[in-house]
C-alpha cells in the first residue's frame, strides 16, 4: 500500500481509503485527516444491521447468513480496489443496548473485515471500553466488558481480528469535540457546582480530543510501518482535576476517596442489573478517579495536533447534535 511518510508530509501517490461512517462524528474528522495526509477518501455507506447474537461464534455465523447477502455484495463492490479500510461506523451510546447496537458494533465489523481486499489494511475503530474497569489500559487483546456497549465493541474486535489477521483495532478512550452530546454534558458538569474529583484529583484521565484521535487513526492507516493488531490512543496528559480546571474554568470539589469509592461501588452493583446503570456508573468513576494506561505503540512515532487550548474552546460547545448512528 502506498502510504504517508512518518514525517506527516503528503504522499506522492494517493492511496484510496474507504471510510465507513464518514458522515459521523469521528468518521468525518478521520476523512479530513486522511486527505490532509494525502489520501483519496472514498465514503462508504454502512448497511444497517441487527442481530440477536451475543457471542463470537454467533456473530460469525450471522455474518455468513443469507439474509445479509445483498449487504456483503454491496461491501465487496465498494471495497474492491481500495488500499485501506477504516471502519468508523457504529452506535456510540455507552448506555445503549439491543439488537441494533450489536448489529452496528459487532456484526458490521465482521462483514466489512471479510469483504476487504486481502492487500488492504483494515483499521477498525473500537473503544478502550472493551477493557472495562481494569486499573491499567493496555494494547493486549484481553477484554473485560461490563455493559452491552463494551461487549458489542469487544465482539467487534474479535470478529475483525479473527476474520483478518492483519487488521488493526484502534482503541480511542473518551473522545470529545464540538457538537458532541457527551462533550456538552461534560462541559456543563465541569463548570457547575457539582464538579468534583476523588481526593486530590491527580489520577490520569483518558479523555481525548477528536482531532488527535482522527489524526492518529489516519497515521495508523497510512504508515508504511508494521502496526500491531491493537493500538491504544495515547494519554493526552491531563489529570481528572486538570480536566475540570481546563474545561470548567474552576477548581473542583474534592470528595474524600473513601466516600467516592463507596458510591462507585454501589453504582457497580446497580450495573449488574442494568447496562444503562453500568454506563452511568462507569462515567462517574472516570470523572472522579480516571484510568491509567501503559505507553503504547503510538507514543514514540506520532505527535498530537491539538492541545489544552482546544479543550478551552469546548467550554461552551455549539448546539449541533450527534447522530446516534455512524458516530463513535
How many domains does the chain divide into? 1
pLDDT of residue 11: 44
pLDDT at 327: 39
Residue partners of 311: CB distance under 8 A and separation at least 6: 176, 209, 238, 243, 246, 247
pTM, two decimal places:
0.89
The reply to whether 166 falls in a domain is yes
| Sign of the dihedral through C-alpha 50, 52, 55, 58 | negative
Is residue 262 domain-resident? no
Question: What are the average pLDDT values for consecutive 10-residue runs of the chain, which has 328 residues?
Answer: 48 86 97 98 97 98 97 97 97 82 98 97 97 94 94 98 94 95 92 95 96 98 98 96 94 96 91 82 91 96 94 68 41
Q: What is the pLDDT of residue 275?
A: 78
Q: Where are the alpha helices (DSSP H) in the chain?
A: 25-36, 56-63, 69-79, 99-102, 108-115, 148-163, 181-190, 210-222, 240-248, 257-271, 275-289, 308-312
Residue 292 CB neighbour total at 10 angstroms: 15
Residue 261 lies in a domain: no
Q: Is residue 11 part of a domain?
A: no
Give pLDDT, residue 321: 40
Question: Residue 91: inside a domain, yes or no?
Answer: yes
Q: Structural domain of residue 163, as residue ranges?
A: 16-180+207-235+293-304
Does residue 317 lie within any of the structural domains?
A: no
Residue 95: its pLDDT value, please?
Answer: 64
| Rounded-to-5 percentages of helix, strand, coil across the chain | 45, 15, 45
pLDDT for position 322: 42
260 within some domain: no
Is 253 inside any structural domain?
no
CATH number for the domain harbouring residue 82: 3.40.50.720
Amino acid at each position: 500500500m502506498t502510504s504517508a511518510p512518518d514525517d506527516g508530509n503528503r504522499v506522492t501517490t494517493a492511496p484510496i481509503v474507504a471510510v465507513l461512517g464518514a458522515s459521523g462524528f469521528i468518521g468525518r474528522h478521520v476523512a479530513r485527516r486522511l486527505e490532509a495526509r494525502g489520501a483519496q477518501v472514498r465514503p462508504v455507506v454502512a448497511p444497517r444491521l441487527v442481530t440477536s447474537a451475543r457471542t463470537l461464534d454467533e456473530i460469525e455465523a450471522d455474518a455468513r447468513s443469507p439474509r445479509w447477502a445483498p449487504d456483503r455484495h454491496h461491501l465487496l463492490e465498494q471495497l474492491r480496489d481500495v488500499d485501506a479500510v477504516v471502519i468508523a461506523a457504529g452506535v456510540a451510546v455507552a448506555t445503549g443496548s439491543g439488537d441494533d447496537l450489536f448489529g452496528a458494533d459487532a456484526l458490521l465489523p465482521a462483514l466489512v473485515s471479510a469483504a476487504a481486499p486481502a492487500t488492504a489494511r483494515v483499521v477498525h475503530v473500537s473503544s478502550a471500553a472493551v477493557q472495562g474497569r481494569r486499573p491499567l489500559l493496555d494494547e493486549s487483546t484481553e477484554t473485560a466488558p461490563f455493559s452491552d456497549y463494551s461487549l458489542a465493541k469487544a465482539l467487534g474486535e474479535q470478529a475483525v481480528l479473527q476474520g483478518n489477521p492483519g487488521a488493526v483495532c484502534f482503541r480511542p478512550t473518551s473522545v470529545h469535540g464540538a457538537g458532541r452530546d457527551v462533550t456538552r454534558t461534560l462541559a456543563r458538569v465541569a463548570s457547575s457546582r457539582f464538579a468534583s474529583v476523588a481526593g486530590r484529583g491527580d489520577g490520569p484521565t483518558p479523555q481525548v480530543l477528536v482531532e488527535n484521535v482522527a489524526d492518529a487513526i489516519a497515521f495508523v492507516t497510512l504508515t508504511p510501518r508494521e502496526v500491531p493488531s491493537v493500538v491504544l490512543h495515547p494519554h493526552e496528559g491531563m489529570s481528572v482535576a486538570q480536566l475540570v480546571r481546563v474545561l470548567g474554568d474552576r477548581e473542583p470539589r474534592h470528595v474524600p476517596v473513601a466516600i467516592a469509592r463507596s458510591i462507585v461501588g454501589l453504582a457497580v452493583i446497580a450495573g449488574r442489573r442494568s447496562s444503562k446503570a453500568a454506563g452511568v456508573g462507569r462515567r462517574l468513576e472516570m470523572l472522579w478517579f480516571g484510568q491509567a494506561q501503559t505507553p503504547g505503540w503510538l507514543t514514540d512515532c506520532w505527535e498530537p495536533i491539538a492541545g489544552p487550548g482546544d479543550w478551552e474552546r469546548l467550554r461552551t460547545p455549539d448546539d449541533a447534535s450527534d447522530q446516534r448512528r455512524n458516530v463513535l
